[in-house]
């Protein structure tokens, strides 16, 4: 079958202004989250972020159990931060502040 005959299906489209950032350091995370907080909590901000987490399942003789969160995705209307926690020595303090802020709704499955 020629490549032009292969049916294609569009899977994901980001709005033209939406940006995705891969974050691998604590300093990058704190800076990016500060900017996201300005957008979300500022005047006219939506006060909602989307969350998703990825982790490894640890197996053993007694079954599987969840491991530590390895990657956390945080989304606002204009950007998505993919925070690689597994590459950091600790959880960025601004991420802790965002997650603990009761004025920001965290939306996601099983959050």
pLDDT attached to residue 16: 79
pLDDT attached to residue 12: 61
Residue partners of 109: CB distance under 8 A and separation at least 6: 52
Given a contact cutoff of 8 angstroms between Cβ atoms, the answer to whether 53 and 66 are in contact is no
Reading the chain (111 residues) residue by residue, the pLDDT tens digits are 344 555 555 556 677 788 889 999 999 999 999 999 999 998 888 899 999 999 887 666 666 666 788 999 999 988 999 999 999 999 999 999 999 999 999 999 876
CA gap 26, 67 in Å, rounded: 21
């Amino acid at each position: 079958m020629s490549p032009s005959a292969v049916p294609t299906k569009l899977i994901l489209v980001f709005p033209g202004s939406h940006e995705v950032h891969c974050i691998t350091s604590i300093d990058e995370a704190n800076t990016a989250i500060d900017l996201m907080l300005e957008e979300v909590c500022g005047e006219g901000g939506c006060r909602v972020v989307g969350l998703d987490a990825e982790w490894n399942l640890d197996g053993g003789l007694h079954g599987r159990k969840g491991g530590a969160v390895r990657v956390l995705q945080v989304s606002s209307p204009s950007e998505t931060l993919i925070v690689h926690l597994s590459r950091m020595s600790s959880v960025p303090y601004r991420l802790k502040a965002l997650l603990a802020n009761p004025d920001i709704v965290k939306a996601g499955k099983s959050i």
